[in-house]
Amino acid sequence: MDASVNNTVNSALALRDVNVMQEVQATVMKKAINAQADSVATLMQSLPVLAIDGTLGSRINTHA
């Protein structure tokens, strides 16, 4: 009986450790994605506005 209790406790502790590691990995991934999103937003804001009018700069003249 003693061995089964020890096995159960060890299994529960191992599952807890796995859950903690998964939470840490998810948190790190979320932070990395947020950092990338901030970088992309900064890059997008630094681009010049090309078309002021709805049709200006949105068509290509194919007659040369």
Would you say residue 36 lies in a domain?
Answer: yes
Give the torsion through C-alpha atoms of 60, 61, 62, 63, to 10 deg.
Answer: 180
Which domain, by its residues, includes 11? 1-45
Question: Which one has a higher pLDDT value, 25 or 44?
Answer: 25
Would you say residue 13 lies in a domain?
Answer: yes
Would you say residue 14 lies in a domain?
Answer: yes
For the segment 3-27, the average pLDDT, to the nearest whole number, is 94
Please tell me the total count of domains within the chain.
Answer: 1
Would you say residue 61 lies in a domain?
Answer: no
For the segment 14-22, the average pLDDT, to the nearest whole number, is 95
Amino acid letter, residue 64? A
Would you say residue 63 lies in a domain?
Answer: no
Would you say residue 38 lies in a domain?
Answer: yes
Would you say residue 54 lies in a domain?
Answer: no
